[in-house]
Amino acid sequence: MNAHAVPMAELLSLDRAKSQLKVMPKRKVRKIIRVVIADEVAIFRDSLEALLHSRPGFRVVGVAANTSSLLEVVSSRKPDVVVLDVAMDSMAGMEALREIGKSASGPQVVVLSAPLGKAHTVRAIKLGARAVLIKDSQGDVLFDAIKKVRQGGFWMTEHSLASLIDSATENPTGQPIFRNKYGLTRREGEVMTAVIDGYSNSEIAEKLRLSEQTVKHHLSRVFDKLGVHNRLEMALFAVRHKVCDDSN
């Protein structure tokens, strides 16, 4: 027998010991969300920076007091999310939002301002804002909004959503209208307009004299054709791309 051979009993013992070892799960690495803050009020910038630094998973990588410095910071620091007061520089923040939105690989934008009013809220959404919050929102609301937009979603307050729905459904004729360049049938357009107008599936079924299952089928096809996943995204898409507007 080879002097260096390991006895069979010892090998079996080693195998048994290995089988009893617990496999430790790999530790999940937290993805840090890189944030840039843009606000012309220094005390608000400082407070917001301190708030974000207090929560694990967030890192403020730059701040800006005006729109020109904002675009420079975004270009150099490559943030994931920009928290922007569009009212800065006498509403020039809107133009900064437009510039940021031109890059497909650019950051997502959370608008954090005093109440904007319907026109400015809708304009911000059209220019690419993924969330519209007011400055008296709770800190947890801001954290949730930043995480949501970083994941490619949207976050709207009740006020912002109301402005969005009003804009999407404004029609002086009272008739449902929509652009057909997205391949929507007339019935799909009617279902989409009714959903944006706040009707439930059962109410739409009664309104259009369809079965509820047929309404769900039409709605599913609308989602597929517009590339959206839920009612909120559909409303946002309708506003941004003028799906509910046949004016040029």
Whether residue 152 is found in the same domain as residue 196: no
Whether residue 109 is found in the same domain as residue 134: yes
Entry pTM: 0.64
CATH of the domain at 130: 3.40.50.2300
Instruction: Tell me whether residue 83 is in a domain.
Output: yes
pLDDT at 20 over 80: no
Residue where a domain stops, chosen among 113, 141, 165? 165
pLDDT at 117 over 70: yes
Whether residue 110 is found in the same domain as residue 41: yes
Instruction: Tell me whether residue 204 is in a domain.
Output: yes
Instruction: Tell me whether residue 21 is in a domain.
Output: no
Whether residue 96 is found in the same domain as residue 71: yes
Instruction: Looking at mean pLDDT, say which of 61-70, 131-140, 185-194 comes out highest.
Output: 61-70
Instruction: Tell me whether residue 19 is in a domain.
Output: no
Give tens-digit pLDDT for 62-116. Answer: 999 999 899 999 999 999 999 999 988 877 889 999 999 888 788 999 999 988 8
Instruction: Tell me whether residue 182 is in a domain.
Output: yes
Domain extent at residue 216: 171-240
Backbone angles phi, psi at 172, to 5 degrees: -60, -20
Instruction: Tell me whether residue 246 is in a domain.
Output: no
Whether residue 222 is found in the same domain as residue 175: yes
How many domains does the structure of the chain reveal? 2
Sorted by sequence, the CB contacts under 8 Å of residue 141 that are 6+ apart come out as: 133
Residue where a domain stops, chosen among 165, 192, 216? 165
Instruction: Tell me whether residue 106 is in a domain.
Output: yes
Helix axes 201-208, 186-196, angle to 10 degrees: 130
* 34-51: b (≥16 Cβ within 10 Å) or e: bbbbbbbeeeebeebbee
Whether residue 125 is found in the same domain as residue 185: no
Mean pLDDT of 172-177: 49
pLDDT at 175 over 70: no
Contact 71, 98 (CB under 8 A): no
